[in-house]
Structure 1
């Protein structure tokens, strides 16, 4: 099947619009010029409203993981304790990055299980320089309690470092209100730009802490980004991926045109439609929730039905032109995941559910078609 006819319904990378694709074809410019400074400044201003922050914003040429490493490596030194919360693959990644730069205090829950705030509180009471959290754990489809973790971090005077890679731009994220000292987002998720950039917001408190860290990363040193970003003509410390900056600027203009309130509502409605459809098809959601945790509004993770693996569903959907995701590592074959990030539409969701029903019918799990599509459509009609 032609790639242009493929429907990307995975948790990133997401489909980018023709406007964004065209933006990448602009001529190269001097990355130390007023032209680039204008692009960078425009991006940072729009991103500030998306992050809901007055903190400094930087754009790094590197994926979301580069932003995660910049956040930890710039603020954590040898011997510094970092409480690392894990309930999925990306929480594990944060934990692994923290182990390179400091001393990890792991707070580990089964992937897809909710965060127990009492356990987190106990670990913070033992003393820690920082705490890491993945706000939207896409590997398990669970939205973690960032506001509550922010309160605990403030109470115990720990830096709050948050991965918002798959929530910022698609869900309500209040960086300043929640007390997030360093927040990270990836370009290829809810912002609907191509992969290859990460955005990091940094508080004044975090900058003060960084000054005492003697072995920060070289390329991803956030103090270097601040020094360059504070120049009269804002720039990055090293050569940026200029075509990706063109794309990011255009993608952010699309976000601005839609409006964040409408964008967040759209993501929530689409994820609700997916959940309604799979419930009608007797497929169980994977994550377990408590009063502080919720289903993700940008990716839905479902348990694979009886006698069908998540990889079976993933490969059969691909053969039908719809790209979804399976489970990672220990969750492989056990779950499948459908993303609704970026500029996904109701029609995209209905097409995905239609193909999912055909696949489930092929495997003998359902005996009639249409119930899932009808359930999803009812949600979309109400909205």
Structure 2
């Protein structure tokens, strides 16, 4: 057997066999009709997955490339209100510092966003708002619909990172007034890393800047996309994989796919509750727990090496905390093509690691999670 780790992380995630095999072919002419068909089919499927009628562009680059494309094409020189309650909200703020005049509207990681401060910033002239819809660093789902309502009320552009929600949870860019929505290939779609998909509204096009970065020039991508092409040499194998991943998602059906992700996340949260451990995120009526990642606090005296390290030694990888919460939490991903067998395996390993570390859990979380999955 191949020595492959099982990834139960908030991305990258295990890729279905069909996705991997889609890349295993001879090179093709990326200016030919065959690749044009790949672009056309992928774009059509991504629009359905995004739930949008807006333009849909695919960039050879990570989700961060999608973030920078959004800010650099539409927010240069603008006053930007950046909502931050985790690492990736902070990343959007840092990108915004390169191109515009941002203010960071922060709350502690995993806690509700300061929406009153956002309204104040909009009243004071903020021209754009950035939001991470699903903040996996803290495992909290932020209220995109409410943020979109505030942005629309004040005529501001709404830039939304949907990198870990699009394809796994309810996302409605057009309904919510999202002017630019972004996802990455290696997250909920379970394709390889290296592509970013970006939807762009007419409102955003009307606000486009005159001198965007050369490689991230979204008008150039739009001009090429109208001919089912890309402005620069694309990562052809990744496009082939993404097309197959999109097909798998739509074969499952988005309603069923979303329900699967929610059930898996509920199973993890149930296990955590039975174990007697604490979740890191602190949602309120507008915010909720993420359905693609769960952040779990380590109890006093338990180290990251004793749990996540031991689980990794046995061939399963979950994620740790980042930045100032490194070593304080671990995160279990429930996104992409993973299902009950993989999830129960990681929960069993985690439960065993706590027992091996001498920590007395309150109950059998694995059995409790199994009951959720069987319901």
- Please give the TM-score of this superposition, normalised by the length of structure 2: 0.98
Q: Tell me if the contact between 1:309 and 1:335 (Cα under 8 Å) persists in the aligned partners.
A: no
Paired residues of 1:357 and 1:366 also in contact (CA < 8 A)? no
5+ long unaligned stretches in structure 2: none
Whole-angstrom CA distance in 1 between matches of 2:31 and 2:135: 37
Cα RMSD, aligned residues only: 1.2
Measured after TM superposition, the shift of residue 230 of structure 1 is: 1.4
1:361 paired residue number: 355
For 2:217, the equivalent position in structure 1 comes to 221
1:306 to 294, 300, 325: 300
Which residue does the alignment assign to 1:41?
40
Note if 1:283 corresponds to 2:251.
no
Q: Figure out how many residues of one structure are paired with residues of the other and give that number.
A: 375
Counterpart mapping for 1:194-205 below 5 A: 194-205=192-203
Answer whether contact 2:105 2:114 (CA < 8 A) is retained: no
For 1:3 and 1:71, the matched residues in 2 are separated by: 39
In structure 2, the residue corresponding to 1:336 is in which secondary structure?
strand
Q: State the match for 1:146 in structure 2.
A: 144
Describe how 1:54-73 pairs up with structure 2 within 5 A.
Answer: 54-73=53-72
Q: Give the match's secondary structure for 1:83.
A: strand
Displacement of 1:306 in angstroms is 1.8
Runs of 4+ in 1 over 3 A off after TM superposition: none
Aligned to 2:174: 176
Deviations 1:104-138 (A, max 9, x none): 11101111111132121111111112100000000
Matched residues in 1 for 2:274 and 2:325: separation?
23
Partner of 2:244: helix, strand, or coil? helix
Q: Check conservation: 2:164, 2:292, Cα contact below 8 A.
A: yes
Task: Measure, in 2, the Cα distance between the counterparts of 1:84 and 1:221.
Answer: 22
2:13 aligns with 14
Tell me by how many angstroms 1:3 deviates.
3.4
SS at match of 1:111: coil
Query: Does 1:51 find its partner at 2:56?
Result: no
Superposition deviation, residue 227 in structure 1 = 1.0
1: CA distance, partners of 2:212 / 2:305: 40
Tell me by how many angstroms 1:161 deviates.
Answer: 0.2
SS at match of 1:302: strand
SS at match of 1:3: coil
d(CA) in 2 for partners of 1:203 and 1:229? 15
Taking structure 1 as the reference length, the TM-score comes to: 0.96
User: In 2, are the aligned partners of 1:165 and 1:186 still within 8 Å (CA)?
Assistant: yes
TM-superposition CA deviations, 1:262-305 (whole Å, max 9, x none): 00000000000000001111110001111110000000001112
Shift of 1:215: 2.7
Moved more, 90-99 or 221-230: 221-230
What residue is the counterpart of 2:115 in the other structure? 117
